[in-house]
A and B are shown apart, each in its own frame.
Chain A
Amino acid sequence: KAGVTQTPRYLIKTRGQQVTLSCSPISGHRSVSWYQQTPGQGLQFLFEYFSETQRNKGNFPGRFSGRQFSNSRSEMNVSTLELGDSALYLCASSLTQPGQGSGYTFGSGTRLTVV
């Protein structure tokens, strides 16, 4: 059974550009969450989707957006990149609706470097 797949694994972008990251959840999982991980702030929640609907959003500026498709695949977009957006972006999928346990399975992440 394939795990959570995130593409690309590594990205280097220039300040001011935009970027799109992709996440394919485990087959059958309908809940997808995104987290940003940095050495200083740790793991911070970006957003969560369930059945194509955004169920929850973290405290990030509007430059960060996301969506989920009918096949549960999710994308997140960051526009007008800043140096501080350099981070590991992690996607997690879950079988159940938010808060019903069963655990979240994480992908290997996309390492974004903004120069």
Chain B
Amino acid sequence: GEDVEQSLFLSVREGDSSVINCTYTDSSSTYLYWYKQEPGAGLQLLTYIFSNMDMKQDQRLTVLLNKKDKHLSLRIADTQTGDSAIYFCAESIVGGSQGNLIFGKGTKLSVKP
């Protein structure tokens, strides 16, 4: 079945760049998403990329997509302590039994001052 994998933890220093990686299995995914979850909160959509794009930049966020390797990454430039959260990668599948969004387990980003 469909699966999305992410590393569970990432620790960086304030001001450094963070790179969160994700691999997915379904080559028919049309959109891939990055969500952020802060403690006690729901999921906040950060950005998404259409599957025919290689890169998308939005202020401090850069998304890279390697469709051949089914690899997605999120780069956060100049990481701040407020960026500490769990980041979820998700691929969109139409009509699958796991729903239209298949999520990874999330990467917990810790930013040290």
Contacts and interface: CB of A to CB of B under 8 A. Distances in A.
> Is B truly associated with A?
yes
B97 A58 contact: yes
B98 A58 contact: yes
B49 to A, nearest CB: 10
B42 A33 contact: no
Interface residues of A, number: 27
Interface of A: 4, 6, 33, 35, 42-46, 48, 55-59, 90, 92, 98-99, 101, 103-109
B99 A48 contact: yes
Interface in B77-113: 88, 92-101, 103-106
A33 B99 contact: yes
A107 to B, nearest CB: 5
**Chain A's interface: helix, strand, loop or mixed, by majority?**
strand
B48 A103 contact: yes
Interface residues of B, number: 26
A42 B45 contact: no
11 contacts: A44-B98, A45-B99, A45-B100, A48-B99, A57-B97, A58-B99, A99-B93, A101-B31, A101-B50, A103-B33, A106-B42
Contacts of A59: 97-98
A43 B101 CA distance: 10
Contact of B98 (A45, A99, A103, A106): A45
Given A101-B92, A103-B48, A42 B30 contact: no
Contacts of B88: 43
B43 interface: yes
B94 A99 contact: yes
A109 B38 CA distance: 12
A45 B59 CA distance: 31
A45 B43 contact: no
